[in-house]
Amino acid sequence: MSYSAIKAKAEKQWDWLENLPQPLIQLGMGTCGRASGADDIMRSVQQTLKELKLLARTMEVGCIGMCYLEPLMAVRKPGRPFIVYGNLTPDKTQKILKRYLMEDDPCAKWSVCSIGKDRIDGIPTFEEHPMLGAQVRIALRNCGLIDPGNIDHYIARRGYSGLQRALDMSPAEVIEEVKASGLRGRGGAGFPTGLKWEFARNSLKDTSTIVCNADEGDPGAFMDRALLEGDPHAVLEGMLIGAYAIGAAQGFIYVRAEYPLAIERLIKALADMHACGLLGDAVLNSKFRFDIQIKEGAGAFVCGEETALMASIMGRRGMPHARPPFPAQSGLWGKPTNINNVETFSNVSAILQNGASWYAGFGTEKSKGTKTFSLAGKVQRTGLIEVPMGMELREIIYSIGGGGPKGKQIKGVQTGGPSGGCIPAERFDLTVDYESLASVGSIMGSGGMVVMDQDTCMVDMARYFLTFTQAESCGKCLPCRLGTHQMLDILEDICAGNGTPADIDLLADLSETVQKGSLCGLGQTAPNPVQTTLRYFKDEYEDHVLRHKCNAGACKPLFHYEINEELCNGCGVCLRRCSTGAISGKKKEPHRIDSTKCTKCGICYQSCKQQAVAIL
Amino acid sequence: MEQAQDALHIQPPLWPQILIMEDEMSVAKGLELVLSEEGYTVDLAMNGRSALDSFDRRDFDLLIADLRLPDIDGMEVIKRVKHRRPDTGVIVITGYSTVPSAVEAMKLGATDYLSKPFTDDEFMSAVKGALDEQKVLHAGAAQAAVAKPAVTVLEPLPEDLQQVHDIMAQIRQQFSGTREELIPMLQKVQNHLGFIPEPALEEIAHFTRTPAASVYGVVTFYEQFRLHPVGRHIVKVCRGTACHVKGAERILNEIETRFGMSPGQTSDDRMFTLETVACFGSCAIAPVVVVDDSVKGRMDPSKTSEVMAAVEPADLDPNQS
Ligand SMILES: Cc1cc2nc3c(=O)[nH]c(=O)nc-3n(C[C@H](O)[C@H](O)[C@H](O)COP(=O)(O)O)c2cc1C
Ligand code: FES
């Protein structure tokens, strides 16, 4: 089919949806939504509509990024904007539908914002919402707004116009366009995408292969999952454009096995593409021939590394190998191979749709465009965001993220996963781009941001990351294998209360040895979490080794819980929730903790509304 | 810096002690060289008897065992060593890479299996894997004192094995038998049975014309694959950064005290198998626990217990096992 034919069909459908004479109810059915009970909400909606004998349409959408409010629902009456409601329960859902659809009460107190042209009294618009307003959504342009299982929705919102534009250009022109946009790879290293494509194209022997890296192994990062679940075609279009540019006829998407919903969405998307003539022997009636296969990962972090990923696709152990040869020279089955990240491809399709100079208008001089981040940990508004490169951390964490949990002080943020570092709150004036994050010893990485507050122990964080890297080290070189092992031993000692001041110096020295002596990226960056915590949170290390105290209440041998009798009002919540029976006390009288029975599980500390449980 | 260099070279008692049991002098010396270059302490035994003698004298963390020896069968040595000191890591190497011996070795608790010839890299990665696994076992053993008994390794049930035939028939229809289909085939078997039984592995090796030992190599490399059956329900606790910050460790402790399982173990009633995962990509609703296929966000220790306790009464489906 030609592009104009599929476009005409898609626009017709979108028009119909836009001008629906009945109410339209959208439900966020991404993994976060489902994990928070979206299925129950869907049932409640259907039941309520039946009870009220109301004709309304329901539609599944992906994640809009406000995961902290899941499950979410958006309701649109004909001729009005959508109203988004969050933190739903089946009961609340029923009330909202009854009141808004039958009595025209928009239930402003339960609403989050409105999406659409007009405004509704008492409800902030999308642009006014503190989490959404400051964002610039390019990679995530459709997430949460379209049905990801419906290719027409994507096409109606200019989808595949970028591909059509690329097909009207020569491959070399497409590469020039991507180069001019300044786009750098979003998988971690930030290598210029256009340049990478040029290498792949130049080493063209016979046919080459293009791979989309959807392994997303960094713990704490979920941008790629949300993107694949919420708008798979944005990624697939980018992949087609890349394939055309480098001259590939075959593509693979390597997806983590932990992402079943993303895989499901991709399977549907590929089938729809075949039906529309977007894959196969003559893509959009051109001479370009291309097909895509899905490869499911099998749970090995190192398979996100490109050479390991290729070994895995070929059915082998996913062991990285030294480069050169680079994948562009000799990759899958010895053929030139180009690997890009999910988000990189989603940006590519936007660039071809809107032009390189439009894209280059966002961001900083060296880091163009936008970056998605997954905001998690001790921050009020957790979720998925996309901001222009160069935004200050402060704005991301306080304005968009809403700061720390009530009454808690934010200590820092961890960026870049196990290869990244911990940035202290005093440095939140830092801007996010590849260079400035590196300047404080962290990295951009794929975009995970885990916020930490006073209840997070930084020594424990360093230990945690080393447990991870030590286990994932492939064992090839001595500094990485034994060095991370020894660093972990020292950190475990410190967390167990057996550390000495000399250990701190030793840790610093070892970090340097491992960093300088390791062969690959994993080992070279493994000390980052230790080095940054040593640099910015040395006092906590000293508390552990000199005073044998863990003030955050994370290292069990170094603290205990006590109830402050003046603050305790004897409500009994802690007593009921304690699973070992360590708490006693009469109702309305101060309670006590029996330290011989206490396992320090922390449930009393977390559940006390009076904050009467103290860490000592 | 100097201090750190020193630290890397202080060896016993910190560094693992390894015994190589191998009758071919050249191979034994070669492996010793690789290991000692990497900083390990290595002893050699040229036959089964002297290997057992060495174990009489002191403990080793890891045994690297050739199966074909001039005196005792290598398998017998492994059995005795494991009997005496169950947490010894074992890597089996052999020129006869037959599946039955690999399977038997795995059953006896071997961590990995290498068939000659292998590269230094493959060897080192197997050694590292075995030592890492041991570390986990040690940690588990320290905590097991408070918990009810849990089982680490379950034996397959006859009905599991009966199903292999049907699954393999499907696989032969669906796949063409190329090497790159290996992982998808293994995934299909595991999706059906929860683990990969030995006969299925053998058939897949045959179908893909891949040496069985390489198929083992792939299965042991990827965390996802299991060689042993699991409980009726699988509980996965995320240990990713966001979940760690929000208290995943407390959830694991709770499961440990309530249900007697540490990660990798199955409760003695075959009800639950506990696993950990590096991140589910649902970090915004951390901490995350996945029970079977259902992802649960914003968990805490007591909610986890509740969810686990509610699993079975709710679906008393007799067919589900
Ligand atoms: C240990 C390790 C893990 C990695 N994991 C990922 C990953 O999960 N996703 C990803 O896109 N890139 C990952 N990378 C980077 C890839 O090797 C590769 O650079 C990237 O996919 C290239 O895509 P880009 O140019 O679009 O960024 C990892 C690298 C290393 C060293
Ligand atoms: S860190 Fe647990 S889901 Fe990502």
pLDDT at B13: 38
Question: Could A299 and B277 be called an inter-chain contact, meaning their C-beta atoms sit closer than 8 Å?
Answer: yes
Nearest CB to A32 within list B224, B246, B297: B297
Domain presence at residue A8: no
Question: Are A474 and B280 an interchain contact pair (Cβ–Cβ within 8 Å)?
Answer: no
Average pLDDT in chain A: 93
- Decide which of A338 and B31 is more confident: A338
Partners of B301 on chain A (C-beta within 8 Å) are: 579, 601, 603
Asked whether B301 and A84 are in contact (CB, 8 A), the reply is no
Whether residue A28 is contained in a domain is answered as yes
Cis peptide before B229 (omega within 30 of 0): no
Please state, in angstroms and rounded to a whole number, the distance separating the CA atoms of residues B181 and B225: 15
Cβ distance A363 to A390 under 8 Å? yes
Helix ranges restricted to H, A355-457: 356-360, 393-394, 434-439
Pairing of strands A592-593, A583-584: antiparallel
> Nearest CA of chain A to the CA of B72: how many Å?
32
Domain count, chain A: 5
Has residue A12 been placed in a domain? Answer: no
> Residue B277: which of A297, A192, A325, A435 has the closest Cα?
A297
Q: What is the pLDDT of residues A57-78, one digit of tens each?
A: 999 999 999 999 999 999 999 9
Among candidates B186, B257, B281 on the partner chain, residue whose Cβ is nearest the Cβ of A216:
B281
Is the CB of residue A300 less than 8 Å from the CB of residue B222?
yes
Please answer whether residues A102 and A52 qualify as being in contact, where contact means their C-beta atoms are separated by less than 8 angstroms.
yes
d(CA A491, CA B275) in angstroms, rounded, equals 24
Residue finishing a domain among A113, A128, A143? A128
* Nearest CA-CA distance, residue B71 and chain A, Å: 33
The three-point CA angle A39-A42-A46 to 5° equals 145
**Chain centre to alpha carbon of residue A569:** 41
Do residues A169 and A191 both lie within one domain? yes
Q: What's the gap in Å between A187 CA and the centre of ligand 1? A: 5
Q: Say if CB B238 and CB B281 are below 8 A apart.
A: no
Q: What is the pTM of this model?
A: 0.83
A370-377 and A448-453 strand pairing: parallel
Domain boundary among A360, A381, A398: A360
User: A189 C-alpha vs ligand 1 centroid, how far in Å?
Assistant: 7
Looking at residue A552, its amino acid is A
Contacts of B246 in chain A (CB under 8 A): 377-378
C-alpha triplet B183, B184, B187: angle, nearest 5°: 85
DSSP state of A184: B
Q: Are residues A308 and A202 in the same domain?
A: yes
- Residue of B280, B299, B304 best suited for mutating to test ligand 2, as the one with most atoms within 8 Å of CB: B280
For residue A419, report the distance from its CA to the centre of ligand 1, in Å: 12
- Nearest atom in ligand 2 to the alpha carbon of residue B244 is 1
Q: Is the CB of A323 under 6 A from ligand 1?
A: no
**Interval B208-228: pLDDT, tens:** 999 988 898 899 888 889 988
Q: Are residues A342 and A245 in the same domain?
A: yes
Nearest Cβ partner for A601 among B180, B283, B301: B301
Is A450 in contact with B283 (Cβ distance < 8 A)? Answer: yes
State whether A603 and B241 contact (CB < 8 Å): no
CATH classification of the domain holding A198? 3.40.50.11540
Q: How far apart are CA A560 and CA A584, in angstroms?
A: 16
Do A441 and A463 fall into the same domain? Answer: no
Asked whether residue A257 falls in the same domain as residue A344, the answer is yes
Whether A49 has a pLDDT exceeding 50, the answer reads yes
Mean pLDDT of A320-348: 90
A44 and A109 housed in the same domain:
yes
Q: Give the chain A residue nearest B289 (alpha carbons).
A: A35
pLDDT bin (cut points 50, 70, 90) of residue B104 is confident
- One-letter amino acid of B25: M
3-state SS, residue A195:
helix
Regarding whether A96 and A122 lie in a shared domain, the answer is yes
Mean per-residue pLDDT, A301-306 = 86
Order of strands across the sheet that contains B89-94: B41-45, B17-21, B62-66, B89-94, B112-115
Nearest CA in chain B to A225: B281
Whether residues A378 and A402 fall in one domain: yes
Per the CB < 8 Å rule, is A300 touching B221? Answer: yes
CATH number assigned to the domain comprising residue A482: 1.20.1440.230
Task: Using the mean position of ligand 1's atoms as its centre, give its distance from the Cα of residue A150 in Å.
Answer: 29
Domains and CATH numbers, chain B: 10-143 (3.40.50.2300), 158-221 (1.10.10), 233-310 (3.40.30.10)
What pLDDT, in 10s, does the model give residues A548-581?
A: 999 999 999 999 999 999 999 988 888 888 878 8
The parent domain of residue A535 ranges over 458-546
Judge if the beta carbon of residue A327 lies within 6 A of ligand 1. Answer: no
Closest CA to B99 of B228, B205, B209: B205
What's the gap in Å between A190 CA and the centre of ligand 2? Answer: 24
For A580, nearest residue in chain B (alpha carbons): B257
CA-nearest residue, atom 1 of ligand 2: B240
Question: Taking a contact as any Cβ pair under 8 Å apart, which residues of chain B between 264 and 283 contact chain A?
Answer: 277-283
Chain B residues with CB-CB distance to A465 below 8 A = 241
Question: Is the same domain home to A179 and A66?
Answer: no
Task: Please tell me whether residues A169 and A253 are part of one structural domain.
Answer: yes
Q: CB neighbours of A300 closer than 8 A, spacing ≥ 6?
A: A308, A312, A318, B221, B222, B223
Q: Read out DSSP for A315-365?
A: TS------SSSPTTTS-GGGS-EEEEEHHHHHHHHHHHHH-HHHHHTSB-S
**Cα–Cα dist A481/B319, whole Å:** 46
Q: What is the ipTM of this complex?
A: 0.87
Amino acid letter, A359: Y
Any domain includes A152: no
* Cβ-Cβ contacts under 8 Å, A528 against chain B: none
User: Which residues sit with their C-beta closer than 6 Å to ligand 2?
Assistant: A 219-220; B 238, 240-243, 279-283, 286, 288
The pLDDT-based confidence of B143 (bands split at 50, 70, 90) is very low
- At residue B122, what are phi and psi to the nearest 5 degrees? -60, -40
CATH at A583? 3.30.70.20
Q: Answer yes or no: is A585 within a domain.
A: yes
**Domain end residue (candidates: A360, A384, A413):** A360
pLDDT single digits (tens) A187-244: 988 999 999 999 999 886 667 899 999 999 888 899 999 999 999 999 999 999 999 9
- A572 and A542 housed in the same domain: no
Does B11 touch chain A if contact means CB atoms closer than 8 Å? Answer: no
> Does residue A5 lie in a domain region?
no
Nearest to A514, CA basis, from A469, A461, A464, A448:
A469
Let me know: does A193 contact A184? Beta carbons within 8 Å.
yes
User: How many other CB atoms sit within 10 Å of the CB of residue A39?
Assistant: 15
Check: CB of residue B216 under 8 Å from CB of residue B201: yes
Has residue A154 been placed in a domain?
no
CB contact under 8 A, A601 and B180: no
Residues 6+ apart with CB under 8 A from A103: none
Atom of ligand 2 nearest to the CA of B239: 2
- φ/ψ of B180, rounded to 5, equals -70, -10
- Among B128, B241, B281, select the one facing A481 at the smallest CB separation: B128
Same domain assignment for residues A448 and A462:
no
In a domain, A147, yes or no: no
Whichever domain contains A387, its CATH number is: 3.10.20.600
Other C-beta atoms closer than 10 Å to the C-beta of B152 total 15
Lowest mean pLDDT among A55-59, A280-284, B98-102, B223-227: B98-102
Q: What percent of chain B has pLDDT over 70?
A: 84
Q: What's chain B's Rg over C-alpha atoms?
A: 21
> Can you tell me the distance from the alpha carbon of A200 to that of A221, in angstroms, rounded to the nearest whole number?
28
Shortest CB distance from B281 goes to which of A258, A474, A479?
A258
Q: Residues near A275 by Cβ (< 8 Å), separated by ≥ 6?
A: none
Separation CA B274–CA B157 (nearest Å): 19
CATH code for position A82? 3.40.30.10
- Considering every ligand atom shown, identify the ligand nearest to the alpha carbon of residue B239 and give its number: 2
Q: What is the DSSP string of B238-287?
A: E-SHHHHHTTHHHHHHHHHHHH---TT-EETTS-EEEEEES--S-GGG-S
Q: Decide: B283 and B243 in contact? Cβ < 8 Å.
A: yes
Q: How far apart are CA B72 and CA B95, in angstroms?
A: 17
Judge whether residue A273 has pLDDT over 50: yes
For residue range A74-103, list pLDDT tens digits in order.
999 999 999 999 999 999 999 999 999 999
**pLDDT one-digit tens code per residue, A380-427:** 999 999 999 999 999 999 999 999 988 889 999 999 888 899 999 999
